């Protein structure tokens, strides 16, 4: 009998212990399930201790989390040289990027924006590749032509010159050289036959000589040249240069547009071939202000040239003329660029020679 009672007591204890174990497991499952069920709104809240707190605004970080759901904790502003660009639940701000030695800073780091860097002039990094180091821009070979200039995010694009194009270029250069030689000989003959009038011209002041060489319609250029002349100590050194410039101008064949103002605007694309080191001098020479030139400094070189030429065209109005731009290039000793621009303008059907 005692054995039966003892077995019954053991069975009752086992049942009681099992019920307590099942209850504990059920409570643990409920707690874990409630932890997993916490779902905070992406981009608006962050999770902390199984509750969702509102994000801190850009430029700050979480100093202390919230105590109740859907409330904002304590947000602290980012320290110097650190930032957060968006609303966040970060416990510290991100460290600002430092531009490498082969890069230049375009925008400094702020509390809400990281440092912006770009490759220095003459180098580039492709945007779809990791920019571990800026690569040097390529140069087109002698038998190639530049289709697109190098930028900080793209390399120079070159294209093989066609045999026909080379032949046309050689023919054009020979014709221009012949015309220039013929004009020079005519100028020498004319000078020889009119020595008295030549003496009269050379006896003039530098100001008057510039007026004779540049023409009455070029009054703005005349004044600019006069300012340059006033800085020269010895006017006798200026005289031979001005006489040479007159002879060169006589050898230039004037161009006329085939489609009016539209021809001039389309020819602006050809000026990207101009040496970048002459850009500011060129635009000052054709009459643009320093403020206008500085306003386009952030653009790529080819876009900058096009925009400034549009400003010049609006400023000149009906007086805007491709011949004036060509003369400015020749004056700045950029004769090769001037010849290439003339050739492209004629080949593309925008201009023709006035005497044809």
pLDDT tens per residue, range 179-196 = 999 999 998 988 877 654
Handedness of CA 279, 284, 288, 293 (dihedral sign): positive
pLDDT of residue 1: 64
Distance between CA atoms of 308 and 285, rounded to whole angstroms? 13
Q: Domain 39-114 - what CATH class?
A: mainly beta
Radius of gyration for the alpha carbons in the chain, expressed in angstroms and rounded = 39
Q: What angle do CA 31, 33, 37 make, to 5 degrees?
A: 120
pLDDT of residue 279: 87
Handedness of CA 205, 206, 210, 212 (dihedral sign): positive
In this chain, the answer to whether the domains covering 39-114 and 252-356 adopt an identical fold is: no
Q: Is CATH 1.10.533.10 the right assignment for the domain spanning 252-356?
A: yes
pLDDT of residue 162: 59
Distance between CA atoms of 93 and 84, rounded to whole angstroms? 6
Give pLDDT < 70 ranges for the chain.
1-3, 6, 16-37, 162-169, 194-251
Domain ranges (residues) in the chain? 39-114, 121-161, 194-251, 252-356
Distance between CA atoms of 73 and 86, rounded to whole angstroms? 17
Q: Say if CB 160 and CB 331 are below 8 A apart.
A: no
pLDDT of residue 13: 72
- For residue 15, report the phi and psi dihedrals to the nearest 5 degrees: -65, -40
pLDDT of residue 276: 83
The encoded tokens of residue 80 equal 């110097």
The structure's pTM equals: 0.36
Q: How far is CA 292 from CA 8, 112, 289, in A?
A: 104, 31, 5
Q: Say if CB 96 and CB 107 are below 8 A apart.
A: no
pLDDT of residue 174: 87
Q: Is CATH 1.25.40 the right assignment for the domain spanning 121-161?
A: no
Q: Say if CB 117 and CB 99 are below 8 A apart.
A: yes
Distance between CA atoms of 48 and 228, rounded to whole angstroms? 73
């Amino acid at each position: 009998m005692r054995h039966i009672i003892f077995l019954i007591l053991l069975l009752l204890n086992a049942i009681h212990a099992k019920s307590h174990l099942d209850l504990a497991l059920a409570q643990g499952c409920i707690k874990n399930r409630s932890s997993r069920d916490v779902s905070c709104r992406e981009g608006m809240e962050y999770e902390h201790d199984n509750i969702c707190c509102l994000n801190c605004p850009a430029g700050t970080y979480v100093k202390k989390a919230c105590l109740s759901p859907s409330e904002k904790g304590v947000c602290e502003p980012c320290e110097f040289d650190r930032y957060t660009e968006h609303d966040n639940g970060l416990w510290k701000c991100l460290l600002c990027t430092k531009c490498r030695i082969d890069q230049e800073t375009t925008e400094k780091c702020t509390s809400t924006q990281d440092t912006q860097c770009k490759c220095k002039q003459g180098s580039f990094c492709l945007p779809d590749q990791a920019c571990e180091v800026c690569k040097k821009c390529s140069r087109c070979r002698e038998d190639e032509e530049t289709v697109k200039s190098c930028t900080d995010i793209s390399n120079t694009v070159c294209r093989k010159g066609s045999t026909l194009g080379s032949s046309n270029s050689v023919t054009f250069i020979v014709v221009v050289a012949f015309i220039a030689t013929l004009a020079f000989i005519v100028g020498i003959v004319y000078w020889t036959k009119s020595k008295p009038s030549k003496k009269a011209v050379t006896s003039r002041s530098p100001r008057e000589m510039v007026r004779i060489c540049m023409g009455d319609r070029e009054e703005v250029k005349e004044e600019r040249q006069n300012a340059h002349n006033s800085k020269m100590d010895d006017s006798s050194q200026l005289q031979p240069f001005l006489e040479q410039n007159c002879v060169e101008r006589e050898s230039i064949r004037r161009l006329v547009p085939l489609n009016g103002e539209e021809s001039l605007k389309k020819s602006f694309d050809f000026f990207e071939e101009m040496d970048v080191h002459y850009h500011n001098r060129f635009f000052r020479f054709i009459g643009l202000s320093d403020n206008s030139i500085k306003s386009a400094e952030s653009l790529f070189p080819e876009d900058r040239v096009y925009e400034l030429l549009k400003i010049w065209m609006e400023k000149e109005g009906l007086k805007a003329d491709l011949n004036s731009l060509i003369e400015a290039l020749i004056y700045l000793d950029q004769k090769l660029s001037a010849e290439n621009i003339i050739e492209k303008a004629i080949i593309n059907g925008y201009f023709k020679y006035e005497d044809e």
